[in-house]
Amino acid sequence: MAIQDFVSYRDRLVSTCSKAIVGKDEEITLIAVCHLCGGHILLEDVPGTGKTMLFRAFSKATGGSFKRIQFTPDVMPSDVTGINFYNMKTGEFEFRPGPVFADMVLADEINRATPRTQSSLLEAMAEGQVSVDGVTHRLGETFTVAATQNPIESYGTFPLPEAQMDRFMMRMKLGYMTRGEEIGVARRRDTAAIIEELPAVITAEETLRLRAELDTIEISEAVMGYIMDIIEKTRNDSRLNLGASPRGTIALCKAAKAYAAFRGRQYVDPDDVRFLAPYILAHRLHYKTAISREEAEETFRAILGEVSVPTEI
């Protein structure tokens, strides 16, 4: 395995997606990290910032099947997972897969679904399978969920519980484009048309091969100690009721390996951990006061800043 394979993987995804999505190379890289690690991502921002378009572009670049679920309060769990129906011709019950059976699933406005419907994604995201009428159906090996939600609007929404939030490897905000970027996008042709023309630049086989080779990326004792110092700090900090879970620790280690490989290194350094930690851990914590996403991340960054960074790795 050559480390250049990881760099090429990232470069192809970023260069392809950036033809449609302007100025979001870092966000594309983070989605690539999640996809390579087999994780899922929560895109949280105000309407119109390109959350849906970004994931559509990414799914085109990966060449996998894509399904979008528009969540509303009347969407039922079976609308997500699928149903068993009686086939009059064969005289037998058959399984009709729901939209969750795709390589890339966009869960649009997930906080508009009822808790029961939200939980129907829980098994799929955590175990890569769904159970319908007692029968388990496996999902694809490159199955990735990107859920979106609008943090401003609260009427008619159902906040995701901690157990569901913990299933997302990362949470990120896209933010607005720069003035020049927005002028360029406004003048060009429709973004949706550009996305439809994007080529598939990687394959599922390549993703699975590189995923298997992530174990060759090294995390030194010093960097592993730094990761655990951060985790333990969240579990003992007076500003928090609940710290990061072991799932958060595992996610941070996996993501750090992928991010280091994308940067052309065979080893993880503290900067990788420090950069990724807010995306991976901030949404997993339970704060003592109800605060916004921005305040939660600000609190976590303050906690992160109190942890000593190793000088030798």
Q: Cα dist. 186→48, 77, 105, 166, 232 in Å?
A: 13, 38, 28, 37, 47
Which of 210, 229, 254 is the last residue before a domain boundary?
Answer: 210
CATH number, position 256: 1.10.8.80
The DSSP element (H or E) to which 150 belongs, if any, is none
The two three-digit tokens of residue 263, written as one number = 């940067």
Does the pLDDT value for residue 116 go beyond 80?
yes
- The confidence score (pLDDT) of residue 156 equals 62
Asked if 126 and 242 sit in the same domain, the reply is no
Give mean pLDDT, residues 214-243.
93
Asked if 191 and 233 sit in the same domain, the reply is no
Which of 158, 179, 210 is the last residue before a domain boundary?
Answer: 210
Distance, in Å, from the CA atom of 285 to the CA atom of 25, rounded to the nearest integer, reads 27
Which of 190, 210, 230 is the last residue before a domain boundary?
Answer: 210
pLDDT in tens, 120-148: 887 788 888 888 888 888 998 999 999 99
Which structural domain, as residue segments, surrounds residue 183? 8-210
pLDDT above 70 coverage of the chain, percent: 97
Higher pLDDT, 46 or 179: 179
pLDDT in tens, 234-249: 999 888 888 899 999 9
Does the pLDDT value for residue 290 go beyond 70?
no
Asked if 177 and 82 sit in the same domain, the reply is yes
The DSSP element (H or E) to which 61 belongs, if any, is helix 51-62
- The confidence score (pLDDT) of residue 225 equals 96
Q: Cα dist. 260→15, 19, 132 in Å?
A: 19, 25, 39
CATH number, position 147: 3.40.50.300
Strands 92-97 and 82-87: antiparallel
Asked if 222 and 194 sit in the same domain, the reply is no
pLDDT in tens, 4-32: 999 999 999 999 999 988 889 999 999 99
Say which residues have a Cβ less than 8 Å from residue 248's Cβ, sequence separation at least 6: 166, 231, 280, 281, 284
- Please report which confidence band the pLDDT of residue 288 belongs to, taking 50, 70 and 90 as the band edges: confident
Asked if 72 and 125 sit in the same domain, the reply is yes
- The confidence score (pLDDT) of residue 219 equals 96
Does the pLDDT value for residue 292 go beyond 80?
no
Give mean pLDDT, residues 76-91.
86
- The confidence score (pLDDT) of residue 76 equals 92
Q: Is 190 a domain residue?
A: yes
The DSSP element (H or E) to which 55 belongs, if any, is helix 51-62
SS3 200: coil
Does the pLDDT value for residue 202 go beyond 80?
yes
Cβ–Cβ contacts within 10 Å for residue 139, how many? 19
Say which residues have a Cβ less than 8 Å from residue 12's Cβ, sequence separation at least 6: 61, 201, 202
